[in-house]
Amino acid sequence: MAGRLLVVDDDAALRRVLEVNLAARGYEVDLAATGELALGLARRRPDLIVLDLVLPDMDGLEIISYVRTFSDVAIVVISAREAEQATADALSAGADDYVLKPFGIDDLVARIEAALSRPAAQARRPGPPAAGDKPLRGGWRMMRQR
């Protein structure tokens, strides 16, 4: 089962390892090191997003909330946050799975494949928010001019 994945992590070495391993398994892989870049790439409608919660410019929970405004894409969180509350927060925000770092590539791939094989709503919301929309804690503010 292959598809297009978006891998979001600020660790360049980890992004490269994931890119090589996922591409070897037939996936097309887009990479993002920041939340801002991830938000732009999410508009390309990947089949699944692998998302670190700790990014230099925004929290991964904000990205999950944003993506959920226009897509039901599967999201697998990868994070070093061990607290039970971090897992609960990510899943409550809309993540489909949570993988604790460090992890084995086979475990991550199995979780990706499981998430991709779940029946998902094929109907997509009308589209992503406009490029000028800005993230706010607890929601998004529309910045379009009238």
| Per-residue pLDDT reduced to its tens digit, 2-32 | 899 999 999 999 999 999 999 999 999 999 9
**Is the residue at 103 inside a domain?**
yes
Q: Taking the complete model, does pTM exceed 0.75, yes or no? A: yes
CATH number for the domain spanning 100: value is 3.40.50.2300
Q: Give the pLDDT score at 139.
A: 45
User: How many domains does the chain contain in total?
Assistant: 1
The sign one gets for the Cα dihedral 26, 30, 31, 32 is: negative
Report the percent of the chain where pLDDT is more than 90.
77
pLDDT on residue 119: 81
Tokens 């070495």 sit on residue: 13
Residue 131 lies in a domain: no
Of residues 36 and 141, more confidence is placed in 36
Domain span at 103: 4-118
